[in-house]
Chain A
Amino acid sequence: MAATATVTTSQVYIDVIEDVIVKVRDEFINNAGPGEEVLKELQALWESKMIQAGVLVAPIERSSGTKTNPGAVHDLNVPYEGNEEYETPTAEMLFPPTPLQTPMQTPLPGTVDNSMYNIPTGSSDYTSSGNDADVKGGQPSPYVQQLPPSPWMNQRPSLDVNVAYDDGRDEAGRGTSNQPLTQEFFKAPMGKRKRDDLASQYNNADGYIPQQDGAGDSASGSFEVEVCGGRISINAHHTTSKEKIPADLGRPTSRIPQLDGPIPFDDDMLSTPNIYNYEGVLSEDYNIANTPAPPEIPASTPALVAQNEAANDNEDDDDDDEPLNENDDDDDFDDLDQGEDQDTHHLVLAQFDKVTRTKSRWKCTLKDGIMHINNKDILFNKATGEFDF
């Protein structure tokens, strides 16, 4: 019998879905709506979710006989082969790692940004100086100039992303997630693109990434962007340490340099800045030069850190002082509600016709309801309830 009920319920759901789709079809097709394809996708996704939830029986018999095309679901895992222009929707569909795009959007700064980045030495040396690692002069690679903002638009972002990310991973050895964060913050950074190019360039290279900001670090091939970003945040947080720990990607540190802020578990949270100060001497210049740079970025990261610290402190205090009586109001019922997951959260959604009470005896008449009980969906047209309070 349960099977019968399920099938009936399932059939009702199918009818509802059909009805909705039919009625919204106009909206989708007319008035420059998204179109029939999107509508099909909506239906397919909706049905697949319901099948997953177990409320819809798999072989769907439709009165209309239209078959949904599961393939209509957009697979974001494949690079977007855009037949359209790479507009926002496309871009979004393309990648979560928007960070790559974000930096790309900023026009590759020619010398201007570079100077901002504290390239005291190399501001004028941006001409192609070859791919040599700039051990000495930190001459910015020519890529900076060469890459106009357009290329990233023209290219398949996936290409760039992959390259960039690979490089990032290899070199930074840090979580990719960090990069995006910082990247987003730094609109200014001369350029992810630059980095990408550099990265690609140096991919085959000796693993050494030339610094464009002029710091003559040993094997500190950190991306400028990251460096700057990290530095900025760190600066905001601490006074820049003059330590010379280069932001060496190849550095086998257990600590992963964070671009967006200090590492909580480390005492020396702000030691991360060290990464960015790959230049002892010039770091000072850097800082000064970069002063304009650390805009809102530091604002956000320090806040986060502050919160973390504060939170930690508070917790300690609370534990030490006295139990906060937080649990006083807990009702076992409430707890249960919070702890319940979908399966155990029995729910009846309906309309009521009448609710009455006599002393502690409640009676109600309900209609047109959906019940989700014991992981089953039951629909009813009428219901009577008798409860004792």
Chain B
Amino acid sequence: MALSAVIRRFPAPSIVWSQRKCRWVSTAAESRLETVANSPKVPLRREDRDFLDSALRVNQAGELAATLIYKAQMPLLSRAHPHLRPLMKHMYDQEAGHFSTFNSLLARHRVRPTALYPVWRLAATVLGWSTGMMGREAAMACTEAVETEIGDHYNGQVRLLLKMIGEMEARGEEVSEEIRHLVDTVRRIRDEELEQ
């Protein structure tokens, strides 16, 4: 039975039978789904898409650098301070997880990776190696500086993304689930970076 017919018969139902899902659902949720499902799906505007592409590309480059810094520091620090090994391994695993998240996002949305990939690889390995050689304090200072900078960067990005979504909604457009999921992913990664 159509939702409108249900509402005519029963003035204020809190639940209706959803034919699509074959179960009872709340009226509000079903009406939102129906209105959203009837709207045409269109691609993002050029400037929004370019912004998202560029944001993901920068994030991937950042996580690549972070992963390589830890990879270069780990052998030096864990030999000098074996008790730090589990902590370093935890931090490395976290960064590696972020890196693979962004890699899969780039592949999925067909975004080109950063052109300076080999440059970042070399620079990050050299940075990790030199701070590892300088000792534990230098390595930790490097980590602290990098994580703070990255946290601020992700913060700014989340702000810009929410601003973009706000502008789209002000124009009467709805944002698809994957874009909201993207914002949540960036938020989660920012929180994990700042906790270190």
Q: Do A and B come from one complex?
A: no
- Please give the residue numbers on chain B whose beta carbons come within 8 Å of chain A beta carbons, in ascending order: none
Which A positions have Cβ atoms within 8 angstroms of B? Answer: none
